[in-house]
Chains A and B, each alone.
Chain A
Amino acid sequence: MFFVYSVYKRFRQLNEDKVQRDKNVKLSREEILKLPELQVNPFNDRITTVFSSSGDGGMTFEDFLDMMSVFSDNAPKNVKVEYAFRIYDFDEDDVISSDDLKQVVNRLTGEQQLNEEEMQQLIDNILEEADLDDDDSLSFAEFEHVISKAPDFIK
């Protein structure tokens, strides 16, 4: 209960008036992005889309609670992996293709960008490590296989 209440407080901070008036209000993506953790996150648009039940990036309190519980320390690892997969799957075709990988890397590097050749080499490296069945994209099973072995995987 304590956790839910503290999440609610943070939700209310995003837009005091609206939430005060109607507890089930849906806040728009712009309002959700006021959260400091999300503001600086390069994948913030993906995160809001994945957790939004209506799919447009807007969130009700329940969606917000969903998001916070997945990002909390106590969430089960497989849930985290599942959501991470959905966040990195930009075109939502249920595999992380090389285009998705390119987007991920570009967002991580920020303003500076790797040139074409370097990018290709990087993606080849990643696929070489993780793509077990050589189909040039990562399925969920492959993603889970590698990510659960990475010790740094803490969201």
Chain B
Amino acid sequence: MDELDGDLRTAKAVRDMQLHMKEKRNIKKNASDIRRQKTLKRQTKQLGWFKRTKYSIGMSWMHLKQKMAEFAYSLELWKSHLKKIEGHFGTGVTSYFLFLKWIFLLNIPVCILTLGFVVIPQVLYRYYMKVPSGYAMPANSSVSFTGEELLTGGNWFEETEMYYGFYTNQTIQINNLGEYDMKFAYLFTCGGYYILTLIILALSISRSYKMNYIEGSGTQTFYMVSRVFCGWDYNITDTAAASLRHKSFFNEMKEFLSGKKKPEDDVKKLEEKCKWFFIRLLTNLLILGTIGGLAYMIYAVSGRIETNTRILADLALPLLVSAVILIVPPIFSLIARIESYEQPKNELYMNMLRTMLLKASILGILVYFWFTQTAKRENECWETLVGQEIYKLVIVDFIFTLGATFCLEFLRRIFATHCCKLKNPSPEFDIGRNTLDLIYSQALCWLGTYYSPLLSVIMILKLFIIFYVKRISVLQNCRPSLRPWRAARTHTIFMGFLFFFFLMATVAVAVGIIIIDSSHSCGPYRHDSLGDDQHYYAYRVVLDLIDSWRGEVVYEIISVITSPGSIALVLVALCVGTYYMRIVMIGHKEMVTLLRQQLAMEGRDKAYLLRMLQEASKKRKVKPSNINRTLAPQTSSLLNPGERSPGMHQ
């Protein structure tokens, strides 16, 4: 086995070397030959059967692992599509598709979790117990599937595992295989997937933040360097895209250089400053007012359309919400143009922030409505109603996404190329808007998974279809953007938005579980009427469970953990930890500036010494190259020991 490990180590070391393939192969061969001879020398007697088998198994295991890795690489989801898009549009547009893929993959574990622990047990329960439904009231068995349910999510769907109300509160027992308490399963699965998503999100957001902000900034940003040396998108294969890239680089450099010059005559008049301040104040107030007004409108409307039962009335609210989300953001970006920010970057961020605020407040007001109005209804299953509303929002959002793609991208191209000659026949692919749409639809999914466990399945289907639609639309209809898109940095911002929405959804669901009473007559947490002053909410199940442990050790442990004292202790510990980290960070920063100064000093020393030596060598006629060689390693060893130095190869 030693030989095997050694081979693996060599392979890894060789991979990191900057040599040609032939030399790498030679090194590998030599190393493994030497190792083999050593092994043979050491073991004079014949290898035992056991050793031989072990070795060959190890060998084949290694090969199998390599094969699997290659196989997995070739299987990777949507790889060829992504490469193709990258070739035509560069990394900016690809970042949208990567984000879509990431969300798609994020939904899969959630989906498996809910299917495995909630949906499948309920299906088995239904199958074995022959109980038609989870509702306490007699099921309306005459309802059949007509097709319009796909849009409204009502009627027939109410009698399926789609919604909260259908799930039983019984303990499932199948052929004495064990008990399965649906109450706990439902609540703990819900908690489980929120925690799982939280962990995944937090990990990737911290990785992205670390990569783009902490390591990227330091004491000084390397803006210019990264623009110039990373200026070319090496994945571009399209000639048109390439010439566009040249232009965009040129424009960016021009823009930057003109921006650099400004500070010299930057002494703006106070008057001017005041003017801009007031204009921006005004626009911000206007936008906040618009958002507030729209939110109120949705709140007012959502109470109205309850009485009607026709399809259009059912869909009026989701249609309104989606329309607002489609129409208002472009108006915001028009307003932002009036504000005339110095940097296009700031304008973009401002737009994204406002759009997110709009979406967040709409969702917030809807949740508020559901918890204050819908949850008060006595004889209906309000959780199912909420689930239905969210289902409708998801579906209508999906239709709007498809419609917007069709109208704004496909029809516009057809119209522009055939009817009137516009200057730019095909539209640009708006990465920001599209990504924000994705984040919104994911937020809906998080909000609704508790009330409608199968929503994550719908979400997966939705994302899958959107990927293909967008892919075709991008390649057919769009042209690459002239404005450079800094994919790595905006990714962190998108992740931040996603995280914010996740927190919002989690808080909303937690409030729904802990504070709002669950329905009397349906779902896993049905209960008899307890009277006016008593509340029965879903979280009560856990409290009851803990209460039932009274007198045991577990109960004591839980009560100690949840006592105010220990929580305060944890908070204090966290604060101390944060403070310590901050101190360390400041220390590191000081160290970096010190080292930088030292480096500059060394450089000056080097230049000075070289000059001295050259003068000396002129007198003594010694070749300067020798001196270079002896001097250089000292200076560069400070930068990175072992790296090659500039003077070495002269």
Instruction: Show the binding face of A for B, using Cβ within 8 Å.
Output: 1-3, 36-37, 39-43, 53, 62-63, 65-66, 71, 74, 76, 78-79, 82-84, 88, 93-95, 101, 104-105, 108-112, 114, 118, 121-122, 125-126, 129-130, 132-135, 137, 139-147, 149-155
Contact = CB atoms under 8 A, between A and B. Distances in A.
B646 A110 contact: no
Contacts, number: 188
A125 B71 CA distance: 46
B21 A43 contact: no
Given A129-B221, A139-B646, A145-B639, 18 more contacts: A40-B237, A41-B234, A42-B246, A43-B232, A53-B22, A62-B20, A62-B22, A63-B21, A71-B234, A78-B18, A83-B18, A110-B249, A112-B247, A132-B639, A147-B225, A150-B226, A152-B488, A153-B230
B21 A147 contact: no
A83 B242 CA distance: 22
Interface of B: 15-18, 20-22, 67, 70-71, 73-74, 87, 91, 211-212, 215-216, 218, 220-226, 228-232, 234-239, 241-243, 246-247, 249-250, 253-254, 257, 260, 486-489, 596, 599-600, 602-604, 606-607, 635-636, 639-640, 643-646, 648-650
Interface of chain B, main secondary structure: helix
Given A2-B70, A37-B235, A93 B650 contact: yes
11 contacts: A37-B234, A66-B21, A79-B15, A101-B228, A108-B228, A122-B224, A134-B607, A135-B603, A141-B640, A147-B230, A153-B229
Contact of A141 (B21, B257, B643, B650): B643
B646 to A, nearest CB: 4
B225 A129 contact: yes
Pick the most buried of A41, A114, A151: most chain B CB atoms within 10 A of its CB. Answer: A151
A109 B171 CA distance: 70
Contacts of A1: 67, 70
A129 B224 contact: yes
Contacts of A149: 215-216, 218, 222
A141 B21 CA distance: 24
Contacts of B639: 132, 139, 141-142, 145
Contacts of A134: 600, 603-604, 607
B91 to A, nearest CB: 7
A141 B599 CA distance: 12
Contacts of A66: 20-21
A105 B247 contact: no
B234 A111 contact: no
A150 B645 contact: no
A15 B67 CA distance: 29
B633 to A, nearest CB: 11
A150 B20 contact: no
B195 to A, nearest CB: 29
B214 to A, nearest CB: 10
A53 B25 CA distance: 15
B212 to A, nearest CB: 4
Contacts of B238: 36, 40
B232 A108 contact: yes
Contacts of A82: 18
A71 B602 CA distance: 35
Contacts of A36: 87, 237-238
Contacts of A111: 246
A146 B644 contact: no
B645 A104 contact: no
Contacts of A122: 224, 228, 253, 257
A118 B650 CA distance: 31
Pick the most buried of B67, B211, B260: most chain A CB atoms within 10 A of its CB. Answer: B260
Pick the most buried of B15, B222, B600, B650: most chain A CB atoms within 10 A of its CB. Answer: B222
Contacts of B70: 1-3
Contact of B646 (A39, A95, A125): A95
Nearest to B19: A66
A94 B648 CA distance: 9
Nearest to B230: A152
A137 B603 CA distance: 12
B224 A125 contact: yes
A125 B18 contact: no
Contacts of A121: 257, 260
A74 B16 CA distance: 11
Given A109-B249, A118-B257, A41 B232 contact: yes
